[in-house]
Amino acid sequence: MSQTMSSSPLGFQQQSSAMEFQNDAVSKPISLIACIAMALLYVVTLYAPTVLLRLPPPSSFTNYMIRRFLCAVVSTTISLFLSPLILPVQTMDLPYILGVYGIRMDHMWQAMVLPLALTSLMYAGSLFLKSLLLLDFMRHHTAFDGGLSFDSFKCASTRFIDWLSAISSNVLTWRNYVVAPLTEELVFRACMIPILFCGGFKAYSAMILCPIFFSLAHLNHFMEIYVKQNYRIRKAAMIIGLQLGYTVIFGSYASFLFIRTGWICAG
């Protein structure tokens, strides 16, 4: 096919010239093998310190998570460096490569605000419930103190700052909201989707394949769940199947946002 990436389905990277190379520039088997290798690399690297390097177990859960953070960063960096060697990039200029990964400055407003508003609709129920709880807290606090005052506002601000401090010092917060989303977006979307497009896959195929690769990369959790469920394989399979199903659905949605906007932050 002589069709360029910029004219691919769903308008992938229409705003940027960073990916103007031909589809079918990489064979489909090579593109699939490359994506599978990146998924395996992401998982294997997490276990490398204890399984391959034979390092002693971390002394605490925090140190254990920090070690996994470093492993995720290492595997992500390797994938980012290998992707341009697979893709038929026109130049190794840094702005061009960043554009390939969906890291650009143009159309930032549309790529960040509109997808964020759309994604927020998926959590509208939870946000509405939290808003009701906040209003209920303010109503009880106002009734107890006899009305709003500077002291009540100061108390609420102090509690909010303490809450932010508590969650920012929680290592699981960094895993769930910083390290895991960032590294997974870079590997399973910024790297894989351009490779799949260069392999001749259509947009809808890439939207399905990337979440599948991501889900398969998390099959390693099956043994952990299997042990927690007292070695009941059926129950463990049901739990992991539900998790993988949700991952595929949400991953397809995030891939659509990346393909549609050409921005990694959109997902």
The residues assigned a catalytic role are 184, 218
End-to-end CA distance of the chain: 28
For tokens 């392999």, what's the residue?
199
Taking alpha carbons only, the member of 180, 216, 181 closest to residue 46 is 180
Taking alpha carbons only, the member of 176, 179, 188, 182 closest to residue 255 is 188
User: Residue 42 belongs to what H/E stretch?
Assistant: helix 28-47
Token code pair at residue 56: 């002693």
User: Cα torsion at 101, 106, 110, 113 (round to 10°)?
Assistant: 70
Token code pair at residue 188: 């399973």
Q: How many Cα neighbours within 13 Å face the side chain of 40?
A: 6
Beta strands in 104-236 (DSSP E): none
